[in-house]
Chains A and B, each alone.
Chain A
Amino acid sequence: MWKFDENNNNPALIGNNGDRLSYARLGEECRKLTGNIDKRSLVFVLCKNTVGCVVGYAGFINAHIVPVMLNEEIPEEQLKDLIARYEPPYMWVPSGREIGYIENSTIYEAFGYKLLRTCYDTENIKMYDGLALLLTTSGSTGSPKFVRQSYDNILVNARSIVSYLELDETERPITTLPMNYTYGLSIINSHLLTGATLLLTEYGLMQKGFWEFFREYGATSIAGVPYTYEMLDRLRFFRMDLPTLRYMTQAGGKLLPDLHEKFALYARDKGIRFYIMYGQCEATARMGYLPYQKAVEKKGAMGIAIPGGRFHLIDVNGDTVTEPETVGELVYEGANVTLGYAEKKEDLLKGDERNGVLVTGDMAQFDKDGYYYIVGRKKRFLKIYGNRVNLDEMERKLKAETGADCAVGGKDDHMVIFVTDPEMQEALRDRAIKITRLNPAAFYSMAIPEIPKNDAGKTQYRELEKYYVD
């Protein structure tokens, strides 16, 4: 995937703990690590934005070992379930992390990470040759479903990103998103491809250490989900002096049009490139982007297909929509459309089930110039802080765990749980927070006299909208 040239002394990784690796050294460290592992084996990676984690990820991909990228803060019971389901022979985890419930021994350690050999047999794993990587669907409701990405998917998407973002080896992106999140990972993939320098920090935007690190190493770009931009706005970002900043990207949900405009105008005045983007884990990462020259003019737009990709809309009959300003379901075609899903170990043998076509589940329309606007979703899910949360799944879980008569709705960053028994209000909200492990600020509960249902007993979610639409 990546050529870590032994003569390339440009820094590849700089961590805020002082770790620093040139491309030459990164190649060496990757080989030292992966020399301990059989090819085509499976490794669970608990991700943190550190040098150790990237050495693992890059090494595994380059050596054709398949990493499963998981949030380091994954609840133990979920991790336990995934381990039982996929039986990984290896794990790459932070050195201080103990995995008590399966037999394992540490066989290698570097940069604050350790390689565990578990009790599972490497012979046991049978995988499709093209399978490179497994990622969760940016969801946090604890579903064991993974997206299967191929080597070709990763390379094609990274090349496309390098081209439309005009990246070269002088870039220095700073981490603002987790590595197990497809958008965060796409930044690593594309910048390693151009030979740029990744600035890795575990500090968040709201911490002094983040901005000190940003300034010390001259970060050139920031990536964020809608909530990141709300935070930057709150931080009086527009008054900050950041002379090294070259470009900013936004994805992971639709930015409020007013905030889109505010950042677009700021960027234009400062000579910074501001890109709205669109993507899904199912398309490796990116599918669409709004060229920065159009950021002000096309307020609220998601943009056009990335180089090498193609969009079209289909109506309810599956026919192609040809008229502008007509809503249809968005379909994407390109070599970055992933292989499919895995829900159990046996699925890792499956080949390409999509053949380059992804029906996105997003409802969109295009204007007369061919720029696409996302207007809604076909499936019932919300993005909370950029994380996909399936509402039906949440509702099922809440009902199963509490027995309450409830319904779940809401809008992005604002989930509302409706319940008929006022005494259950708080308990349901607490459960939802525990299930998603997201900040409580996005969760609301409301007692209503009756959950609206039709004659067939189906919940009428439309009727609940009046409670939360502004």
Chain B
Amino acid sequence: MTNLEKYNGAFCEALEVDESKLAGLKYQDIDAWDSVGHMSLISLLEEAFDIMMDTDDIIDLSSYEKGKEILAANYDIEF
């Protein structure tokens, strides 16, 4: 599985959203992406990439695109 597939998979599972809706998706755009959904998302991302995210990164991950930037910049994950 590519990193993008893993990344998208975590979003789709945690937020129960279709892959086609991911581009441009932001925190609180949909009901499922609230604080509870965010926690599930972080768990799944950490599991998928076998990483432990820092507090600042967890609270900074406010959109689908921002998450990619964070993972690339701070956790050496290439997309």
Contact = CB atoms under 8 A, between A and B. Distances in A.
A231 B36 CA distance: 8
Interface residues of B, number: 21
A227 B42 contact: no
B55 A204 contact: no
Contacts of A208: 56, 59-60, 62
A207 interface: yes
Contacts, number: 53
B35 A235 contact: no
B55 A239 contact: yes
A385 B36 contact: yes
Interface stretch (B4-12, B26-34, B71-79): B26-34
B19 interface: no
B39 interface: yes
Nearest to A205: B35
B39 A206 contact: yes
A437 B31 contact: yes
Contacts of B16: 440
Contact of A204 (B14, B32, B35, B56): B35
A206 B58 contact: yes
A441 B31 contact: no
Interface string B22-51: 000001000110111111101100000000
Interface residues of A, number: 23
B57 to A, nearest CB: 10
- Give the interface SS of chain B, mostly helix, strand, loop or mixed: helix
Contacts of A240: 55
Given A206-B58, A208-B62, A439 B36 contact: yes
Contacts of A210: 59
Of B31, B39, B60, chain A has the most CB atoms within 10 Å of the CB of B39
A204 B16 CA distance: 21
Interface in A410-441: 437-441
Nearest to B40: A441
23 contacts: A204-B35, A205-B35, A206-B27, A206-B59, A207-B27, A207-B62, A208-B59, A208-B60, A208-B62, A211-B59, A231-B36, A234-B42, A234-B43, A235-B55, A235-B58, A235-B59, A236-B54, A236-B55, A236-B58, A240-B55, A437-B31, A440-B37, A442-B36
Interface of A: 204-208, 210-211, 227, 230-231, 234-237, 239-240, 385, 437-442
Given A236-B54, A240-B55, A441-B36, 9 more contacts: A205-B35, A207-B27, A207-B35, A235-B59, A236-B55, A437-B31, A438-B36, A439-B36, A440-B32
Interface of B: 14, 16, 27, 31-32, 34-40, 42-43, 54-56, 58-60, 62
